[in-house]
Structure 1
Amino acid sequence: MIKTTYKLAIGLTLSVYAHAALAETTLTFADWQVPAASTTREAAKVFMDKATELSGGEIAFDYFPAEQLGKGGEMLRLLQTGVADVSHVSPAYITDKFPLTTVAELPGMPLDSCALANGIYEMAQPGGALYEAEFEPNGIRLLFAGNLGPYSILTTETPIATLADIEGLNIRTAGGPMEMTATELGANAIRMTGSETLPSLSRGTLDGLLWPVPLVEDWGLEEALNNVTPNLSTGSFVVTYSISDSTWDRLSETEQVALLEAGKYATEHYCGFVNQTWAESLEQLETVHGIQPLDLPASELSKAEERFEQVHEQWVEGLAGRPVSSQVVYDQFREIANR
């Protein structure tokens, strides 16, 4: 909830660290990501610090990570009910509300994190197809767009040398197109949030997961995993920080501009970070934690690409008949992402 305050406080852990600044407006920011996650450090913190800087100290944040205010699938509701002013809304967790925004999560899209982020950011601005289709009807405005980079297949016991090795495995997905991708590859797709993943791997409920390589250590999954398939991207996961329209309308023009510029800045910063750290993280998983990389041969990659095309067609067909055409969204996104 928006409130007046005289202290700028941003909690990146359960404790709060304070900035010496006088703030006229404090925004409650709800995030489901854990404090150790790269999105927390390189996206949320960057966004908040920049907004405070650009507003001359007028904007402050009370930041609640790690599902303190609600789980990943509840972030939109927190905005709509006024519990939070800004939140980390993940389309894959609420595909009934944001099905078209998951276009950036389709497999076989450009591997450049910035290309995917820019596509969502541009199309979710007022006048854009995604804004008109999903953000405006849900009463929110996108400030930041990002993604967690290419998702790889990581397994506990079974190395993936061919696509046949995936068949029948219980594989965690975040939902949305990722679930369609795992199913098309022959796995048993199990949708669950990030916080549920480690216990399921440890109990053997999961044989593996679709997950971004740089976030394996952030979530403490490295001890439960033994294999990774680095040269097959099974899609990505969209990250958005959005503000409720009711909060937005109460802000001054100066504060609105500061939030918009901070969102642009953080969008560019975070996608660059993702692009830079992927290879470094893969090496870390192998050399430090013994997670063995095994590339699929070219013949298997070709088979995967054919199956991914099926996922694309299913996505477009499954979302046909909406006021904003799924084909239009798909075509526009691919055009922007491939510039």
Structure 2
Amino acid sequence: MNNYKKRLPLLMTGIFACCSASAEEVEPVTLKFAEWLPTTSFATEHGANPFMEKVAELSNGNIQFDFYPAEQLGRGSESLTLLQTGVADIANVAPAYMPEKLPLSGVVELPEIVKNSCSAADSFYELAQPGGTIYEAEFKRHGIRPLWVGNMGRYRILTNNKDIASLDDLNGLRIRTAGGPMTLTADALGSSPVTMQGSDVLTSLSRGTLDGVYYPLRGILDYGLAPALDQLVPNLSVGSFGLTYSISDRVWESLSEQQQDILLEAGRYAMQTYCDYVDSSEPEIIQVLENEYDITQAPFSDSDLEQAQTDLEEVYARWAEPLEARGLPAQQVIEEMQ
């Protein structure tokens, strides 16, 4: 964080220089923007779209985008390759889809790391900028840099036909997770983690072959899972899902300083717009889940939360140890995110 504070005056100087110059002077350029999420996604609506709009405003329309949502240029797991091969100039690179290439960036998938979307995004952004721990260990090696980052907020435990009155009630439940660190989390809490395609989750919940899910609250509505769920544990975060809107070094280095400053400023704007939505919308979404779908809240007691925190320390260690053995600063990343 101290490194970021040292870099901040330089970043702001560039931004102010950008804004003091006439937008008409910005050299025209069109960038190919690959997004695996659909246009209806809240990340597109509150992140990607505001980013492009802010860039257009700051450049007076001289920086434009050819926008390819909904995997038109490639799947989410291919986004890094799209940047490296020049198929795209900017892309939504999700570390969870490529854990072998961006393992440290999976830190946001650890339990209780994301307590709210904005603070986690700010912390990760610092680590993912030049000079930051994650940038130097991962992004730099792959020839990309994040313009802005985000996450899907806190993943919660939601169940179907299973009363969760205490932490012990999670024992043996078949829980669908997003894989990676969340698999470790389910295991540490005594549940049986299940990996399956998203399209199969609703059917499995309805048939009782799945007892519950780890999911972001907005995702419960977007993917139509609410009718098959009846309980929500609101006060334990079991992980999150990270997004990094990145540009290839090849393209970055071809841009003028003014163009770079505009992209950086628009990125910070979009990051704030998106995380503000994620954080501020949660109470309303919980009300919808309660009032329209009869999903009741089942918060853990203070003693259960304390026990859960103790159990989840094992997850941090199990995630960090193999990465440390590869020479990656996983423990440092955990501490800096916290």
Per the shorter chain, which TM-score range? 0.7 to 0.9
Q: Equivalent residues in 2 for 1:188-199 (5 A)?
A: 188-192=192-196, 194=198, 197-198=201-202
Among candidates 114, 119, 124, match of residue 115 of structure 1: 119
Give the SS at the match of 2:32. strand
| 1:188-238 Cα shifts (integer Å, max 9, x gaps) | 223456566445545655332111112321222222322211111112221
Specify whether residues 27 and 116 from structure 1 end up closer, same or farther in structure 2 by C-alpha distance, changes over 3 A only: same
Among candidates 50, 53, 63, match of residue 49 of structure 1: 53
Identify the residue that residue 17 of structure 1 maps to in structure 2: none
Among candidates 147, 152, 155, match of residue 143 of structure 1: 147
| 1:136-164 Cα shifts (integer Å, max 9, x gaps) | 11111101111111110112332322233
Does the Cα contact within 8 Å between 1:175 and 1:192 map onto a contact in 2? no
Distance 1:243 1:30 in 2: 10
Identify the residue that residue 12 of structure 1 maps to in structure 2: none
Does the Cα contact within 8 Å between 1:58 and 1:255 map onto a contact in 2? no
Q: Which residues of structure 1 form unaligned runs of 5+?
A: 1-21, 335-339
Among candidates 109, 116, 119, match of residue 105 of structure 1: 109
Distance 1:25 1:205 in 2: 52
- Counterpart code for 2:138: E
Give the SS at the match of 2:324. coil
In the alignment, is residue 284 of structure 1 matched against residue 288 of structure 2? yes
Distance 1:32 1:246 in 2: 21
Among candidates 75, 82, 100, match of residue 79 of structure 2: 75
Does the Cα contact within 8 Å between 1:213 and 1:278 map onto a contact in 2? yes
Q: Which residues of structure 2 form unaligned runs of 5+?
A: 1-25
Among candidates 237, 262, 270, match of residue 233 of structure 1: 237
Q: Equivalent residues in 2 for 1:201-240 (5 A)?
A: 201=205, 205-240=209-244
- Counterpart code for 2:173: L
Q: Post-superposition shift, 1:24?
A: 3.3
Residues paired across the two proteins, number = 313
* Structure with more of its chain in helix, by fraction: 2
Does the Cα contact within 8 Å between 2:214 and 2:238 map onto a contact in 1? yes
- Counterpart code for 1:283: Q
Q: Post-superposition shift, 1:301?
A: 1.6
- TM-score with structure 2 length normalisation? 0.85
| 1:103-123 Cα shifts (integer Å, max 9, x gaps) | 222212351221110111011
Higher mean displacement: 250-259 or 115-124? 250-259
Identify the residue that residue 329 of structure 2 maps to in structure 1: 325
Identify the residue that residue 260 of structure 1 maps to in structure 2: 264
Q: Which runs of 4+ in 1 moved over 6 A?
A: none
Specify whether residues 198 and 40 from structure 1 end up closer, same or farther in structure 2 by C-alpha distance, changes over 3 A only: farther
- Counterpart code for 2:247: I
